[in-house]
Structures are given as C-alpha cells and as structure tokens.
Amino acid sequence: MRTSVFTRGTTAPPPRRTFRKAVVVAAVAALGAGLLAGCAEDSGDASGSSSSGGNGKGKTTITVGVFGAFGLKEAGLYDEYMKLHPEINIEQTSIERNENYYPQLLTHLASGSGLADIQAVEVNNIAEIAQTQSSKLMDLGKTSGVKKENFLEWKWSQGTDKSGKTVALGTDIGPQGICYRKDLFEKAGLPTDREEVGALWAGDWQKFLAAGEKYKAKAPKGTAFVDSAAGLMNAVQGGSAERFYDKDGKVIYKTNPAVKDAWDVAAKAADLGLTAKLQQFQPSWDQAIVNGTFATLSCPPWMVGYIKDKGAEKTEGKWDVAAAPKSSNWGGSFLTVPEAGKNKEEAAKLVAWLTAPEQQATFFAKRGSFPSSQAAFSLPEVADAKDPYINDAPIGKIFSDAAKNIPVTIVGPKDLVIAQNLADVGMLQVDQKGVSSEDGWNAAVKAIDNALEK
C-alpha cells in the first residue's frame, strides 16, 4: 500500500506528475523551512535579541523579564525613560507566577541564552541568585549613578555576594502594617481609629491575639478575626533578623526561637478559632476579601494594591491600615543584568535609573510598591502619601515608620522552599484540618528535610 502512490505512472511519466511532484517537494521544503525558521526565530530571540529595534530606526531595544504585574511598566517608568533617551526602546515580558518564572530564569542563566537584558528576582530567591549565579551577572555596584548609601543597608547586602559584588539592586520592599475592616471592628466593639487600633496591639503579637479574642466574643456572624494562620505566621517571621539561616549559612529554622515563636502565635490563633481557615492567594481567599468575611490581614503596601484590585468599589472605604505589632517585611524584588545579554551596558544604566530614589518614589506613588531606597522616604511622593481608597490613611508615614525598624534579615538560598512548606503544609494542616500544633510542625519538618536533600 505504501508504494501504490508512487507506482502510478512510472512507465511513462506524464508532465502532470512531474508538476505534482514539484509541488509536493516545494510544499515539503516550505514546511521544513518554516519549522527551521521557527526554531531560528526562537534562538535569535534567545541569544539576547534586540540589537536593532526592528523598525529600522537603529534604536537599541532593552528587554526586561519580570513576574506577575511587576508594575514598572504600569507606573509609566519605561515610557519616561524612553522619552529621556529617544534612542532606547524598552520591551517587557512577564510570566504570571514567580514559581514558573524562577526555574526558567535559572535554566536560561545556565545555558546563557533566552535571557532578557534585565531580569527581576524575588526576595525569597535573592540569596540563591547571589550565591550561585553571581558569576553570570553584572556587578551593578560599579555602574555610574548607583549610590550604595541611597539603599536600605539590608536590601543592598541581600543583593551582594560574598566577594562584595553587587549583582542585584533593590526595587521595592514590603514593610507591613495590619489592614483591618473598620465596619467589622465597629460591630465587634473594637476601636476603629487607626491610632487606637495600632495601640491595641503595639509591640506584642500576643496582644494582637488578645484583640482577636475580644473580636471573637462579639464578632459579626460569619466573620473571623484574621484570614489565615499561615499569613499571620509569615508576618511574625518577617520581623526577626535570623529566620531560617544563620549568618554562616547554616539552616537553623528547626531550633530558631523566632521561627518557633511565629509558629506558636499562628497555631494559637488557629486553636482559639480566630482564623477564617483560608489559604492566601486562592480563589476562596479572594472572594473572602470581597465579601468581608475576615477583619484583619497582614498588609505590606503591595497588599493594599491587591485589596484594591479584588475588592474594587465593593470594599472602597471599608478597609483601613494600622501599624503592626512589630515591624516586619514581606516581599520585595530586585533587578539584575545577566552577563550574557547583548546590551548589558545600556541595561545597567536603565537599572540604575529605575532604582534611583526619584523613580522609586514614582513607583510607590503609582503602584504602592514601597521604596527600598531610604533616600526616597523623605521625598514628598512618599512622605505625604495618603490613600483615598482606605480612608486617606497616611500610608507613606505608616510604612516608612515600619520600614525603618525592620531588622537586617539574613536570607538563605532555600528561603522560599522552607517558608512554603511551613505555611502550605504545616500551618495549613493546623489551621484547616485541626491537626495538633506538634503534628503540623513535624509534617512541615519532614517535607522540608525531603526538599533540602540534594
């Protein structure tokens, strides 16, 4: 059967057949060329791309790779830079979730291809990047215009490797406040003024739990004091200098009293029934933000933005923000420039500009991403910032105060994995399945041991 197509007409090939054959050959060739071109396009893109803007104007295109709605573009900073530098064109590619973005970044760094000229890195990955990938990244500390004293000291040191090479510059940080629902607090007989609310639990997370018990005693039906035990645990954890690693890079989370303390606070909250038993960033959690079924939430500035996105008009004016019991940090990002990039000098200049105090202040004013540049704190865009969505809360002051007291946190390469398993395995079991605090802890430790073993 296979040959029948070809035996037809072999004795005296009519011209039609040659023609048909030519068509077939052409089609196959075109297909093959198309496939090859597809590959070539990919690898062309991969090897740094972009020497000319494609439109023949001789522009230099700088590509920026980010995760999520990173915000630099949305804040209009790229447009502003392109206006200042007409010869530059900036293009951004974004991958929705960091857990997909980060492994891809690692493979691209390893192969030296597929990289954007500028790549963003999340704080939970920064230690791994600084420790294992620094030979593949540019020393941004030497770029002209970059001033070390502008940055918060700990943010600068997180992006610097052991030899003193600064491979990543900080964009934003996440000093935390506590977002609370004014309406629910009022119904439960708690104060609603943000100063009084902050005073309710100032200095001690146990006081936060005590406030939770008061809330629970008169809680509006179907509501809980705090969204999730794991979220609370993260908030407490973010306030200690040593978290999962000590300064020699040893994993110490099992014996670190600060981690245990955070665990106990969260487990107690679950045990007292103060939590809404939700898991953060799940659809059900989003729905709860909109429907107002929990009264408090640990709130870095970007979380205020998240509430705005989800709640829109429905929750406008309902939330307010008060100081947290203790200063702590949640989240924040960095920018790096891979050595393999084609336009690394231009890219480094752009990074220096984007992370300068003025631009960080704009970033905060437009997107609520809090500056990692302490020089920006006193700029009016930050110092005087108020957010009409949350009752004109002076977010500039609240978050700057919190930022000043954040200790220099020691980060480690597997921070993300440890944090995730403590939250999404251990504490989730305690919170949602009613497992005992001890069993939950052991389950988390077992999962982390397995995850850390190479």
Partner 1 sequence: MRSERRSRLYRWDLKWSPYAFVAPFFVFFLAFGLFPLLYTGWASLHQVELTAPNDMEWIGLRNFSRLMEDEFFWNALRNTVTIGVLSTVPQLLIALGIAHLLNYKLRGSMFFRVAILTPYATSVAAATLVFVMLFGRDIGMINWALGQVGVGPVDWENGEWTSQLAVSTIVVWRWTGYNALIYLAAMQAIPNDLYESAALDGATRWQQFVHVTVPSLRPTILFTVVVSTIGATQLFGEPLLFNRGAGATGGANHQFQTLGLYLYEQGWVNLHLGRASAIAWAMFLILLLIGAVNWLVGRRLRKSS
Q: Which stretch binds partner 1 (CB under 8 A): 170-178, 276-284, 317-325, 333-341?
A: 276-284
Kindly tell me which of 90 and 184 has the beta carbon lying closer to partner 1. 184
Q: Which of 214, 424, 442, 445 binds partner 1 (CB under 8 A)?
A: 424
Partners of 122 in beta bridges: 333
Give the CA dihedral 256, 259, 264, 265, nearest 10 degrees.
140
Binding to partner 1 by residue 255, rule CB under 8 A?
no
Partners of 170 in beta bridges: 334
Count CB atoms within 10 A of the CB of residue 338: 24
Binding to partner 1 by residue 6, rule CB under 8 A?
yes
Distances in Å between the alpha carbon of 419 and those of 191, 283, 386, 391, 452? 33, 21, 32, 33, 12
Distances in Å between the alpha carbon of 66 and those of 73, 116, 365? 10, 9, 20
Binding to partner 1 by residue 57, rule CB under 8 A?
no
Instruction: Say if residues 452 and 416 touch (Cβ distance below 8 Å).
Output: no
Q: Which of 50, 61, 124, 133 binds partner 1 (CB under 8 A)?
A: 133
User: What residue has token string 């500039």?
Assistant: 396
Residues 301, 401: Cα–Cα separation, whole Å: 13
Binding to partner 1 by residue 279, rule CB under 8 A?
yes
Kindly tell me which of 280 and 391 has the beta carbon lying closer to partner 1. 280
Kindly tell me which of 90 and 230 has the beta carbon lying closer to partner 1. 230
Kindly tell me which of 25 and 312 has the beta carbon lying closer to partner 1. 25
Q: Which of 29, 36, 110, 241 binds partner 1 (CB under 8 A)?
A: 110
Binding to partner 1 by residue 3, rule CB under 8 A?
yes
Smallest distance, partner 1 to C-beta of residue 281, A? 4
Query: Residues 378-417: x/- map of binding to partner 1 (CB under 8 A)?
Result: ---------------------------------------x
Residues 196, 29: Cα–Cα separation, whole Å: 76
Binding to partner 1 by residue 235, rule CB under 8 A?
no
Using CB under 8 A as the binding rule, the residues of this chain from 35 to 54 that contact partner 1 are 35
Smallest distance, partner 1 to C-beta of residue 288, A? 7
Smallest distance, partner 1 to C-beta of residue 347, A? 22
Q: Which of 22, 26, 32, 37 binds partner 1 (CB under 8 A)?
A: 32
Residues 261, 245: Cα–Cα separation, whole Å: 16
The closest alpha carbon to 259, from 279, 239, 231, 229, belongs to: 239
Binding to partner 1 by residue 144, rule CB under 8 A?
no
Binding to partner 1 by residue 106, rule CB under 8 A?
yes
Binding to partner 1 by residue 283, rule CB under 8 A?
yes
Kindly tell me which of 300 and 371 has the beta carbon lying closer to partner 1. 300
Q: Which of 117, 128, 172, 320 binds partner 1 (CB under 8 A)?
A: 128
The closest alpha carbon to 210, from 200, 218, 221, belongs to: 200
Residues 175, 328: Cα–Cα separation, whole Å: 6
Residues 372, 375: Cα–Cα separation, whole Å: 9
Q: Which of 47, 206, 391, 432 binds partner 1 (CB under 8 A)?
A: 432
Binding to partner 1 by residue 62, rule CB under 8 A?
no
Reported as type and span, the H/E element at residue 91 is strand 88-95
User: What residue has token string 């006193």?
Assistant: 378
Token duo for residue 369? 């991403």
Binding to partner 1 by residue 29, rule CB under 8 A?
no
Using CB under 8 A as the binding rule, the residues of this chain from 321 to 350 that contact partner 1 are none
Kindly tell me which of 119 and 429 has the beta carbon lying closer to partner 1. 429
Q: Which of 119, 158, 160, 293 binds partner 1 (CB under 8 A)?
A: 293
The closest alpha carbon to 125, from 420, 425, 353, belongs to: 420
Taking the CA atoms of the chain, what radius of gyration do you get in angstroms?
Answer: 27
Smallest distance, partner 1 to C-beta of residue 2, A? 6
Residues 175, 239: Cα–Cα separation, whole Å: 9
Residues 269, 291: Cα–Cα separation, whole Å: 22
Instruction: Say if residues 334 and 120 touch (Cβ distance below 8 Å).
Output: yes
Kindly tell me which of 47 and 432 has the beta carbon lying closer to partner 1. 432
Binding to partner 1 by residue 234, rule CB under 8 A?
no
Q: Which amino acid is at 98?
A: N
Q: Which of 41, 87, 99, 196 binds partner 1 (CB under 8 A)?
A: 99
Instruction: Say if residues 357 and 375 touch (Cβ distance below 8 Å).
Output: yes
Q: Which of 148, 309, 433, 436 binds partner 1 (CB under 8 A)?
A: 433
Query: Which residues form the interface with partner 1 (CB under 8 A)?
Result: 2-3, 6-7, 10, 13, 28, 31-32, 35, 99, 103, 106-107, 110, 128, 132-133, 279-285, 287-288, 291, 293, 417, 420-421, 424-425, 428-429, 432-433, 443, 447, 450-454
